[in-house]
Amino acid sequence: MSMSRIIINTQFDAIHCWPDCTHKDVMFLRDPHRHIFHVTMKVPVVHDNRDVEFIRFKRSVEGHILLNYKGKDLGSMSCEMLCKDLHNVYPETTYVSVMEDGENGAEVEW
């Protein structure tokens, strides 16, 4: 049995840090640093004709990002925390991924 999902991708710049880092080789992560965070979100659909219109969904997500994350200091918020925060705002998502600079990050599935 197949499952269909719509997928949106977006990105934003923000600052965060890991103040509790104890790993000597990456202690620089304790200090605030900037990333381009790349976000992917997936929402299941039940039919093939714009069950969830992905342009409208993306606009909604980008509006939330603009108000809450873009250009802001996110403090100690991790990629995992961002995934869960986005899912809390958009509970219809079954998958959220947040990558730092398109290289490393986290994904959470529900």
pLDDT in tens, 20-49: 999 999 999 999 999 999 999 999 999 989
Residue 50 has pLDDT above 90, yes or no: no
Q: Tell me the pLDDT tens digit for each residue of 64-85.
A: 999 999 999 999 999 999 999 9
* Superfamily of 4-109 according to CATH: 6-pyruvoyl tetrahydropterin synthase/QueD (3.30.479.10)
Beta bridge partners of 4: 45
- All structural domains of the chain with their residue ranges: 4-109
Place of tokens 């979100």: 41
Mean pLDDT of the chain: 97
Q: Residue 105 has what pLDDT?
A: 98
Helix, strand, or coil (residue 3): coil
Q: Is this model's pTM higher than 0.75 or not?
A: yes
108 within 8 A of 82, measured Cβ to Cβ: no
Q: Calculate the alpha carbon distances from 37 to 4, 46, 48 in Å.
A: 26, 30, 30
| Residue type present at position 78 | S
CA separation for the pair 75, 61 (Å, rounded): 21
